[in-house]
Chain A
Amino acid sequence: MMLEPTEEQALLRDMVSRFLADHVPTDVAGRGSLPLADWRALGDLGVLALAVPEAAGGLGGGPGEIAIVAEAFGRAAAMGPLAECAVLCACLIADGGDQASASKWIGAITSGQAIVAYGGPGEGLGDLTVQRAGEGWILNGERRLVRHGAGAGAFIVALDDAPHLLLIEAATPGVAILPYALADGEQAALVRFDAVEVACEARLQVTPTRRRRVIAMTQLAITAEMIGLMQTLYEATVDHVRQRRQFGVAIGSFQVVQHRVARLFILLEQSRSLLLRAISADDDAFATAVTEAFAYVADAALRLAQDATQLHGGMGVTEDLLVGRGHRRLLVLSHLFGGAIAARAKLAA
């Protein structure tokens, strides 16, 4: 039982925080992904290899390490393909890819040279069908929300009704990438697959247990990122209500404002508790604990962002202020993987 990070975890947190403070000043924070050069620099620091098992050349970090890095990203409102690429896709390839895919992609992901994007199944995310064709498959359909899909070198698609995970290079004939901007300023893509021939080596052999765990690690990273950003928005809001004067006094002296901010403090503390609980869970309980944390935090984050905007007054709705940009980011993060609604439905099932 220890609430504080271990010494190694603290070093990791400080290193990532320092890097992001230097490279993501407040005026650019929350405006889009880190430039490629910065992403590669993070790769050089080992940050992108954190989630990858040691056997596959990674650092073998656990939930605690992943949460620490993701929270630092949120704190700085820094963006990039951390969760889906450096955690999810990297781990799926490390676990289930053949030698060739592993050597082609894992080093490229962990060094920040390449992005592999994820097209998972879900409500509204598009239909995909796969037909057996000789040794391989023919893939048809689309994935509508592939974060960082525009610049990706490859995709991992998960099928709706089959346990298949397929690794498909972006340059494969029949793959069409339609980039679009997400609410948080990051690039996503609608990716179409038109009679795409997939060789049998493209299938990632990942056990269902391991796949659940890796998806949970990804959701954990997103949850931790939300909490980091909640903290930043909370602090900005507390500063603002202390400084902003109306009717001759700081608005933070009004009880109606105090009570609203007190509610934000509660949301943040309760969110942190569920994140810590997920990090501490046994292997058996981990995926459910992450779903619980995500279900709570996705709601809490958006409520906090809404109140942060409200308490900032007119400035809260502008793009100039980090609060507005942070709110956009939380809008996207809180809706990934089906958002709180899908998470609650899963828990109710």
Chain B
Amino acid sequence: MSLALPPEALRFRDEVRAFLDEHLSADLRRGAALTSGVFAEPDIARPWQAILETRGWLVYHWPVAAGGPGWSRVQRWIFEKECAEAGAPALPGMGLKLVGPVLYSFGDDAQKADYLPRLRSGEDFWAQGFSEPGSGSDLASLRTRAVRDGDDYLVTGQKIWTTQAHHANRLFALVRTNPEAKPQAGISFLLIDMASPGVTVRPILSASGDHELNEVFLDAVRVPVANRIGEEGQGWTIAKFLLENERGGSSFGPGLVADLRRLLDATGPLKGELATRAIRLSLDARALETTELRTAIELDAGAPPTPRSLITKLVASEIRQGIDELAVDAFGPAGLQLPAERPFYGPGMPAPIGPQAAQPAAARYLNSRAWTIFGGTSEIQLTLIAKAAVGL
């Protein structure tokens, strides 16, 4: 009974660490440290993605058959921990974490050959078209229609909360192909070229001042049937597979441990109530990364996926929000500044009030309120835990 990493895992950790030392530039670290949104912006993400791809570590979580390096779950956990400790940019997950695994798991050979290389090279940037104005937690009620027209679908409807759609040239979307069937059974999974006539992206400015979110309007957009993943009506099954990856595909704990440490480096030692909150958050984050390591060890040993992994997204989002709230409190008045300019590491920023790290604190606080909403709200997560893990 021990979680201690064996020598070969420690050697692997050292290899990753050395690579990060050499290739993660000060600019990239600074950009990551001053990112206020969930994912790094393309100017940070693209160069980092290219560096990882050159080393063969970009799709470290993909199986060998799909081009991954064949790492165990524990190796992935170590890699994620080292990247977090080093302060690497958080690469947008829509392509690498979400549609990539869908493509290699459900796509046909032509689709894999067509899309996977461009995803890896960064030529394709993906957005996720799931939520709609009337379909949030009740995703299966979505109404965007895809009507067959010869070898194409004509897709009409509206998607919302589409993260980084303004950077994307591709959209993967859930659409209703059969309005007669039960809600879940009438859904299909389509890949849509954002350059197609009838696609309109409208920005949604967050209260944080960040532009990450968008509305995507689809007006009789012509999508080849060849762009459907899986069978018609299989979309819900694919969506569930994808959501599992979104919620539990990679570890959250290491990033939270590292972010809290960086915050405390910037604030200096905290006292009283702030110190207590910092300790509580640190214990929560340490426990979470260990919970994730336990799950990785189990999966490597061939155990079936554990319902324990359901807790990670919920717990992570609460710690995320706790850290960001602590930052606002710990920076005092400097935690209230909210410049309109973005990104925070960009050249056009006004001089920070107080330490540099305080400048994005209010934006982060406001932005991270989204964590308990996206990818399944905390209320949805609790219901899932109660059903699948507790057995109620």
Contacts and interface: CB of A to CB of B under 8 A. Distances in A.
A262 B290 contact: no
B3 A348 contact: no
B178 interface: no
B317 to A, nearest CB: 12
A276 B3 contact: yes
Contact of A295 (B4, B279, B293): B279
A5 interface: yes
B382 A238 contact: no
Interface in A266-284: 266, 269-274, 276-277, 279-282
Interface in B121-165: none
Interface stretch (B166-174, B239-247, B281-289): B281-289
Most chain A CB within a 10 A radius of its CB, from B5, B74, B392: B392
A1 B297 contact: yes
A342 to B, nearest CB: 12
B386 A261 contact: yes
A257 B390 CA distance: 12
A193 interface: no
A138 interface: no
Contact of A258 (B284, B293, B383): B383
Given A1-B2, A64-B2, A269 B283 contact: no
A280 B2 contact: yes
Interface string B296-339: 01100100000010010011000000000000000000000000
Contacts, number: 118
A263 interface: yes
A4 interface: yes
A255 interface: yes
Most chain B CB within a 10 A radius of its CB, from A262, A295, A299, A348: A262
Contacts of B297: 1-3
A315 interface: no
B26 interface: no
B287 A271 contact: yes
B23 interface: no
Interface of B is mostly: helix
B279 A1 contact: no
Given A258-B390, A261-B392, A292-B283, A276 B1 contact: yes
Most chain B CB within a 10 A radius of its CB, from A2, A4, A253, A281: A2
Nearest to B308: A269
B1 A64 contact: yes
B391 interface: yes
A238 B392 contact: yes
Interface in B230-276: 270, 275-276
A273 B386 contact: no
Given A255-B383, A265-B385, A266-B311, A274 B283 contact: yes
A242 B74 CA distance: 36
A344 B282 CA distance: 11
Interface in B1-32: 1-6, 9
A279 B294 CA distance: 13
Contact of B276 (A253, A276, A344): A344
Interface residues of B, number: 41
A11 interface: no
A280 B3 CA distance: 5
A125 interface: no
A276 B294 contact: yes
A259 interface: yes
Given A266-B314, A348-B279, A274 B290 contact: yes
Most chain A CB within a 10 A radius of its CB, from B279, B287, B297: B287
A39 interface: no
Contacts of A4: 1
B379 interface: yes
B383 A270 contact: no
A262 B291 contact: no
A9 interface: yes
A271 B290 CA distance: 10
A296 interface: yes
Contacts of B284: 270, 296
B389 interface: yes
B279 A265 contact: no
A1 B379 contact: no
A5 B1 contact: yes
B310 to A, nearest CB: 9
19 contacts: A1-B4, A1-B74, A2-B1, A3-B294, A3-B298, A9-B1, A252-B392, A253-B392, A257-B392, A259-B383, A261-B386, A265-B311, A266-B385, A270-B288, A272-B294, A279-B1, A279-B2, A344-B276, A348-B278
The 10 A-B residue pairs whose C-beta atoms are closest, nearest first, are A258-B386, A273-B290, A262-B385, A270-B287, A280-B3, A259-B382, A296-B283, A262-B386, A273-B291, A348-B275
Given A9-B1, A255-B383, A265-B390, 18 more contacts: A1-B2, A1-B4, A1-B6, A3-B294, A258-B386, A258-B390, A262-B382, A265-B386, A265-B389, A270-B284, A273-B290, A274-B287, A277-B286, A277-B287, A279-B2, A292-B286, A296-B283, A347-B282
